[in-house]
Structure 1
Amino acid sequence: MTNALFKPVFSVVMPMYNVEAYVEQAITSVLEQSYPHFELICVDDGSTDSTAEIVSRFNDPRIRYVHQKNRGLAGARNTGIGHSNGLYVAFLDSDDYWHPEKLYRHIEHFRTDPKLGCSYSASLFVDEQGVELGIGQHPKVKNISVKDIFCRNPIGNGSAPVIRRSLLIKTGRKTDFGDHYRMTYFDESLRQSEDIEYWLRLALSTGCKFEGLREGLTYYRVNASGLSANLEKQYAAWELCIEKNRALNPAFFQQWGSLARAYQLRYLARRAVQSGNKQQALKLVVDALKTDKRILKEEPGRTLITLACACLLQLPGSVYRSLEKAGMQYFSQHNKMGKI
């Protein structure tokens, strides 16, 4: 139970679904934060494994456990937001974990800029055992425009952002689920791209200021099974989230739609490369270039590396993997230094 006198600064929302292998590390990484003024809302989205039992082993009054029937990631996040009391809401997927200084760095970030609405951090990739892979997401962190949110999604993943709760309340919608109404923030009709849809809607409807931290404060777990996910479904979900927001600013989507589509195709090409899908990888990167050649002008390094990887994927597996590892490490290091 939560102490009635305890008013958290942060509400950490952690959706959980059959994550017995990872959830202990995720929770521990929150409890070990150097900034202690938080509540951790663990939303069990209908798990059938030992996730609930693992959560029950923690004896900390800041932890709140909420169970619901399975509603998907967006539904679990919405439930967590609905139970939140903090000034800021931080999201942590239960197969990822945080650096101990994450919340402290974000509260500093918000305090130095009253106009800041959403703060995020760079992310470091780890494997299924939690071992760092030497690569990560090091996005643009300053002067973020709505175009940046649309085309490049600098937030990167669901465990990187922290948002002012007041903005979530402002963008919440009373949604009809047939037999009841419920406040929603993330769109529960989407099972993929729900985060992209929300950040884009937030940027277009509120003018929210986004800004990032260069430090790798989020550890994002690369799940091998996730790499083989249906890329066509991912692309269809992305297109749907665009259609859901088009009415907010038709001229904006007319100007940047093809470029954003090209970036999304390039991203999916990298996913195809990682999963070893030779034919699809090459097709997707070629489609990206055909869709809008501006990606070659805006990000020549990333685009040419993706094209090269798709071509080199035709080589024998062991040769390709060695070249890929060396190339990704080089790319990640130079990206952090702003050279690519």
Structure 2
Amino acid sequence: MTQHTPPIASVVVPAFNVATTIEETLIALQEQTLQNFEILVIDDGSTDQTSEVVKPFLGDPRLRYIRQANRGLAGARNTGISAAKSSYIGFCDADDLWTPDKLRLHVKHLSDAPTVGVSYSGSILIDDAGAPLGVAQSPKLGGITAADILKRNPVGNGSAFVLRRAALDDIAYQTPGADQRLSYFDESFRQSEDIEFWLRLALSTDWDFAGIAGHHTLYRVAKGGLSAHTERQLASWENVIAKLRPLDPEFFAAHECAARAYQLRYLARRAVSGDDGRAAISFLARAYSASKEPLWAEPNKSISTGLAAVFTLIFGINPMTVLSTLRTRPIH
């Protein structure tokens, strides 16, 4: 890309105290097969060595480094969107990785499908060391409705999607008292900002959500954060529902209870991953009290979650950890 060639796409990398992982993230982005793009690292007030790790990458003319006072993930994304120079904008958290073809495939998808505002793909979950956890996010790829987004969030995670700037422009709003700054993600949410964004886009615009085949994101799941703050996460989700309910009261009346059940079942799996069987059982009980839909709509996942919760409660450890240990144990 020469100085006078506008980038086809922009990739925003929100970064907060990610000195141990951002080098690997940036290398993966530099190795994208689509080369005519820009990388915007938004340092959200890091207090570690993040800036020092990024410094050697500044020789790449495609990369821009922007430092700001801490505004949270939503605020870092908003800064990146405002600074981006292209019509397609992707996001890769600074502890996640992209496969080499990811950006090219999403740009082609959006270029070929003018009604699609959000393009996403499946993800492989990895641990702190970058090793696959044996778990994948394999979302529904087509026919996505607002109800799908509320209940199952097919987009999956914050590094799985690339979207069209025109879709962002349709939901931009001016932040009160913020020097006329436009917001896209709601900075009042420090959790659940993704689902608030997707739902607001789905309920207030006509843009389609659609996925591409394959698992093109490596999504890092930190062991220490698997079960932490699940009640806070639930409270944040409830705040999203309360904020957006006035947009379409009939929609929420029809789908809110089932969506709450799915959310609670998800938190049960988070608790299992964190070896907290008691919390997992509690979340499941609350889930099926809210709605039985997950039991008949996704019986296999509901049953496996229940069995994993009981196993964890009895033995104090996630069964997937046991299976992983058995797979890697040397045979004598």
Q: Bin the TM-score by the shorter chain.
A: over 0.9
Code of the aligned partner of 1:76: A
Alignment-derived partner of residue 331 in structure 1: none
Q: How far has the Cα of 1:43 moved from its partner?
A: 0.2
- Cα distance change, pair 211–321 in 1 and its aligned pair in 2 (3 A): closer
Matches within 5 A, 1:122-271: 122-177=122-177, 180-271=179-270
- Cα distance change, pair 291–203 in 1 and its aligned pair in 2 (3 A): same
Assess if the C-alpha contact under 8 Å between 1:190 and 1:237 holds in 2: yes
- Cα distance change, pair 287–319 in 1 and its aligned pair in 2 (3 A): closer
Alignment-derived partner of residue 287 in structure 1: 286
What is the distance in 2 between the residues matched to 1:56 and 1:6?
Answer: 24
Alignment-derived partner of residue 330 in structure 1: none
Q: How far has the Cα of 1:111 moved from its partner?
A: 2.6
Alignment-derived partner of residue 88 in structure 2: 88
Code of the aligned partner of 1:93: D
Taking only the aligned residue pairs, the percentage that are identical comes to 45
- Cα distance change, pair 79–3 in 1 and its aligned pair in 2 (3 A): farther
- Cα distance change, pair 322–17 in 1 and its aligned pair in 2 (3 A): closer
What is the distance in 2 between the residues matched to 1:309 and 1:323?
Answer: 11
Alignment-derived partner of residue 9 in structure 2: 10
CA-to-partner distance for each residue in 1:76-105, whole Å, 9 max, x for gaps?
A: 000000101111110100000100010111
Q: How far has the Cα of 1:180 moved from its partner?
A: 3.3
What is the distance in 2 between the residues matched to 1:321 and 1:246?
Answer: 37
Alignment-derived partner of residue 330 in structure 2: none
Q: How far has the Cα of 1:318 moved from its partner?
A: 6.3
Alignment-derived partner of residue 120 in structure 2: 120
What is the distance in 2 between the residues matched to 1:318 and 1:259?
Answer: 29
SS at 1:314 equivalent:
helix
Q: Which runs of 4+ in 1 moved over 2 A?
A: 314-326
Assess if the C-alpha contact under 8 Å between 2:22 and 2:95 holds in 1: yes
Alignment-derived partner of residue 305 in structure 2: 306
Q: How far has the Cα of 1:321 moved from its partner?
A: 4.5
- Cα distance change, pair 210–283 in 1 and its aligned pair in 2 (3 A): same
Q: How far has the Cα of 1:57 moved from its partner?
A: 0.3
What is the distance in 2 between the residues matched to 1:181 and 1:322?
Answer: 49
Matches within 5 A, 1:34-49: 34-49=33-48
Q: How far has the Cα of 1:181 moved from its partner?
A: 3.4
Code of the aligned partner of 2:305: T
SS at 1:86 equivalent:
coil
- Cα distance change, pair 291–63 in 1 and its aligned pair in 2 (3 A): same
Code of the aligned partner of 2:66: V
Which blocks of at least 5 consecutive residues in structure 1 are unaligned?
327-340
What is the distance in 2 between the residues matched to 1:172 and 1:199?
Answer: 13
TM-score (norm 2): 0.94
Q: How far has the Cα of 1:213 moved from its partner?
A: 1.6
Assess if the C-alpha contact under 8 Å between 2:277 and 2:316 holds in 1: no
What is the distance in 2 between the residues matched to 1:163 and 1:230?
Answer: 29
Assess if the C-alpha contact under 8 Å between 1:124 and 1:135 holds in 2: yes
Code of the aligned partner of 1:236: A
Q: How far has the Cα of 1:134 moved from its partner?
A: 2.0
Q: How far has the Cα of 1:319 moved from its partner?
A: 8.5
- Cα distance change, pair 22–147 in 1 and its aligned pair in 2 (3 A): same
Q: How far has the Cα of 1:4 moved from its partner?
A: 4.7
Assess if the C-alpha contact under 8 Å between 1:116 and 1:209 holds in 2: yes
TM-score (norm 1): 0.92
Structure 1 vs Structure 2 CA RMSD: 1.6
Alignment-derived partner of residue 68 in structure 1: 68
- Cα distance change, pair 95–259 in 1 and its aligned pair in 2 (3 A): same
Alignment-derived partner of residue 275 in structure 1: 274
Code of the aligned partner of 1:8: P
Assess if the C-alpha contact under 8 Å between 2:33 and 2:100 holds in 1: yes
Which blocks of at least 5 consecutive residues in structure 2 are unaligned?
326-332
Assess if the C-alpha contact under 8 Å between 2:7 and 2:38 holds in 1: yes
Code of the aligned partner of 2:212: L
What is the distance in 2 between the residues matched to 1:28 and 1:141?
Answer: 28
- Cα distance change, pair 65–298 in 1 and its aligned pair in 2 (3 A): same
Which is worse superposed, 219-228 or 23-32? 219-228
Assess if the C-alpha contact under 8 Å between 2:276 and 2:313 holds in 1: no
What is the distance in 1 between the residues matched to 2:281 and 2:195?
Answer: 25
What is the distance in 1 between the residues matched to 2:323 and 2:286?
Answer: 22
What is the distance in 1 between the residues matched to 2:104 and 2:183?
Answer: 28
- Cα distance change, pair 32–321 in 1 and its aligned pair in 2 (3 A): closer
Assess if the C-alpha contact under 8 Å between 1:309 and 1:324 holds in 2: no
SS at 1:295 equivalent:
helix
Assess if the C-alpha contact under 8 Å between 2:25 and 2:94 holds in 1: yes
